[in-house]
Amino acid sequence: MATVTDTDTDRSRKKKKMIDLHCHILQGIDDGAKNIEESVTLIKEEKRQHISSIMFTPHFNFERTSLDKFVQARQHSFEALSSSPEFQELGINAKLGAEVFFSVKLNEYELDPLCFEGTKYILIEFPLTTRPYGLTHTLTDILNRGYIPILAHVERYPYFEDNPVELYNLVMKGCVAQVNAGAIIGKNEPSAMAIKYLKWEIAQLISSDAHSMKKRPPRFAEAISVIRKKLGDDYADWINKNSNDVFNGRYVDVPVVRKPKKILGRWI
C-alpha cells in the first residue's frame, strides 16, 4: 500500500495552487502593465509560480477620477485582455477589484463597484509617510456598512511600525491586513515589519503587488518559501487558505492575533 512520505507532502505543497489578490497586471489603466503583451508576460510568470487565480486591482483615487470613469476603463481593459487568444490560452481564473486610495470621503461613495468581484472585500491603501486624518473612524464606518477593508501592504507605513497596536486594533475590529511578497523576501521593499506582522497573525494575506517585470515582478514562490523556512509549512498553508477564502468571498479565519508588546524599545 502506498504511504504518504515527507517528500510527497513537500511536492504536493509546492504544487498547491495559489491566489494573487493584489496586482497591477491589468493593462493600460494605472502605473502597472502598459499593454496586453506585458499583462500576458506577468500572468505567465505568475502561473510559473503556481498562481491559478488573480484579482486585478488597478489603482483608484476618488480625487483623481470619477467612479464611473474608473469602472468603465477597467471593464474596457479587462474585455480587451480576456478576448486575446494569448490570455485565453493561459486558463487563468481572473476577477476584478481595485486598490482604493484612502480618503475620509470613502463613506460618501458607493463602494460595491470597488470591492473584489462577488465579495464585500475592499483593498485600501494609505499615504506612505503621514498617518491620514480619520483613519480609524472611516474604516469603522466601512465595516459598519458591511464591507471588509483589506489594508494593503501594511509593512510600508511608518505609523503602524511605530505603533503596531493600532494595526492590531483594526484587525480586531474586522479588517484584514496584507503584506507584499517582495517585502517578505527583503529586496527593494521595506521589510522590517513584514515577517513580524505575519508571525503575530496581524497580517493574514500576502500578494505580489506586481507592476511589471522590472518595477515589481511577481515573487510569490520565493516569498512562500521564506515563510515556510521562517514560520513553517502550516503557516504558509494558512496564508494560502486565507487568499482562497477572500477570493471566494468567505470570511478569513483569524485565530488568535498576538497583541504586540514593546520590551526594551523593541516590538515583539
Min separation Cβ 246 and Fe ion, Å:
15
Show the site string, 156-195: x = touches Fe ion by CB under 5 A, - = not: ----------------------------------------
Min separation Cβ 210 and Fe ion, Å:
9
**45 sits near Fe ion (criterion: CB under 5 A):** no
Min separation Cβ 216 and Fe ion, Å:
8
Question: How many other C-beta atoms can be found within 10 angstroms of the C-beta atom of residue 102?
Answer: 20
**What is d(CA 96, CA 80) in angstroms, rounded to the nearest whole number?**
14
> For Fe ion, how many residues bind (rule: CB under 5 A)?
2
Closer to Fe ion by CB, 99 or 155: give it. 99
Residue nearest to Fe ion (CB): 209
Min separation Cβ 52 and Fe ion, Å:
20
Residues numbered 205-224 forming contacts with Fe ion, rule: CB under 5 A: 209
**99 sits near Fe ion (criterion: CB under 5 A):** yes
Min separation Cβ 23 and Fe ion, Å:
7
Closer to Fe ion by CB, 183 or 260: give it. 183
Q: Are 219 and 50 in contact (CB under 8 A)?
A: no
Min separation Cβ 239 and Fe ion, Å:
18
DSSP secondary structure of 21-77: -SB--STTSSSS--SHHHHHHHHHHHHHTTEEEEEE--EE-TTTS-HHHHHHHHHHH
**What is d(CA 54, CA 24) in angstroms, rounded to the nearest whole number?**
10
**What is d(CA 70, CA 37) in angstroms, rounded to the nearest whole number?**
22
Closer to Fe ion by CB, 184 or 260: give it. 184
**201 sits near Fe ion (criterion: CB under 5 A):** no
**What is d(CA 225, CA 223) in angstroms, rounded to the nearest whole number?**
5
Closer to Fe ion by CB, 20 or 209: give it. 209
Interface residues with Fe ion (CB under 5 A)? 99, 209
